[in-house]
Homo-oligomer: A and B are copies of this chain.
Amino acid sequence: MDDIEIEAVEETTLSDPVLIEGLPGVGNVGKLAVEHLLEEFEDATLVKRVYADCFPPQVTIEDGTAELTHVELHAVETPGEGPDLLLLTGDHQAQSNEGHYHLTDVFLDIAEEFGVERLFALGGVPTGELVDEPAVLGAVANESQVETLEDAGVEFRDDEPAGGIVGVSGLLLGMGSRRGLDAACLMGETSGYLVDPHSAQVVIEVLQELLSFEVGFEALEERADEMKEVAQKIQEMQQQQSLPSDDDLRYIG
């Protein structure tokens, strides 16, 4: 077996597609955002699955059947004038340094095959506390990219995120830029304790502005309301006694 294996599920042609990545991460902001887009764009077509020996060696049981760990790419021919989309998501990140690098390299190869010249890696930036009105922070490789993003509501703060951006999102930005792609990270502020559908929504709103598409937000808003209640309960618990364990808090949802 090859270390990384691409399964071609369907062939399709996209028009000036933009790659949008949302793998698990802080607050699962990126993952929730891309999964929401997949629900809203009903004509999304699964085009590729990527399997790799750097993924956790396991199957996930969902809807009664087992699937080997993998990442999926879906093609969306958007109605309207905006670019088509190539959506990348999955349940796991690589489990090793080298794995992150080589997987990202493969994602970029696939993207370039589809004619992608622009990409957005989505994620969350942890603030340590609940945020009512999360900003969307941006990171780019070239100053020339900043203006367009600021016009769409992205905030750039000096030397933030501190500690850089780790994992596939950071590598898509860094390695994508080195390949000459217009690559950017968009990161919704989030507490870091809970999955954050509201932060995912704010990130999508920025993307809508940049890429001229439009989706509904009902499903995300419902989940955001549920999370508000969970957050309230946790605050009450914190006031009463000892903090819930990290396990109670971590990505409830």
Contact indicator B101/A66 (Cβ below 8 Å): no
- A65 contact set on B, CB distance < 8 A: 139-143
Assess A170 versus B57: contact at CB under 8 Å? Given A66-B185, A141-B65, A141-B66. Answer: yes
Work out how many copies of this chain go into the complex: 4
Q: Of B3, B139, B140, B166, which is within 8 A of A57 by CB?
A: B166
Minimal Cβ-Cβ distance residue in B for A162: B61
A139 engages B61 (CB within 8 Å): yes
Known: A66-B173, A68-B175, A175-B68. A57 touches B142 (CB 8 A): no
Most chain B Cβ neighbours within 10 Å, of A58, A59, A60, A97: A59
Beyond A59-B165, A59-B170, A61-B164, whether A66 also contacts B97 by CB under 8 A is no
| Cβ–Cβ contact A174 & B68, under 8 A | yes
Instruction: Return chain B residues, CB-CB under 8 Å to A173.
Output: 59, 66, 68
Of the candidates A67, A97, A139, A160, the one having the most CB atoms from chain B within 10 angstroms of its own CB is A97
Q: Assess whether B64 is in contact with A165, with CB atoms less than 8 Å apart.
A: no
A102 and B59 contact, Cβ closer than 8 Å, known pairs A64-B156, A67-B141 = no
Q: What's the Cα separation between A158 and B63 when bound, in Å?
A: 6
